[in-house]
Structure 1
């Protein structure tokens, strides 16, 4: 879709998808949103784009501790608070 909006010619190659077995797994069903947000944050903050190596299946899975989850919760709460303050 990006290529069609920018007018670039589409490549005939299909995207390469790689299943990264070392991605973090949440211990129960209630942390999934925070795990996804933290995972996306890890990808966005990786300027070298080496996250595929970080989450490679040959390595042990990355584990997010409760501190990591609280960090994402706090970041999200601060963002929402700023948005609410701006809408007053």
Structure 2
């Protein structure tokens, strides 16, 4: 789910994620039926307008996934459909949630 126009998965990043999943599974005693995860390029993911919004786009992707227990986002971001567009309101919501989270952490640490 890369929000930049170049949508190729970096091989080092793929190895890091695959290794992380294996480590997680070994620590939780989960037996995986696959040797490694299946990677799918979701072409319909929103594209950021410039190269400075990547952090907010990643946080918005994560928010969409966490709030989607049925993993419908895969269908929403599939290239067969019109690309999903994050409008400024979507990004501002992530910014506001981040500020609220940080504010709460600051007050808890006093």
Query: In structure 2, do the counterparts of structure 1 residues 74 and 59 end up closer, same or farther at CA, with 3 Å as the change threshold?
Result: same
Q: RMSD between aligned alpha carbons?
A: 1.4
- 2:79 maps to what in 1? 57
- Out of 20, 23, 29, the position equivalent to 1:7 is 29
- 1:38 maps to what in 2? 60
- Out of 30, 39, 43, the position equivalent to 1:21 is 43
Aligned residue pairs, count: 88
TM-score scaled to structure 1, two decimals? 0.90
CA distance in 1, matches of 2:75, 2:87: 20
TM-fit CA distance, 1:9:
4.1
Q: Could you list the runs of 5+ residues in structure 1 that have no partner in the other structure?
A: none
Q: Could you list the runs of 5+ residues in structure 2 that have no partner in the other structure?
A: 1-22
Structure 1 residue matching 2:65: 3-state secondary structure? helix
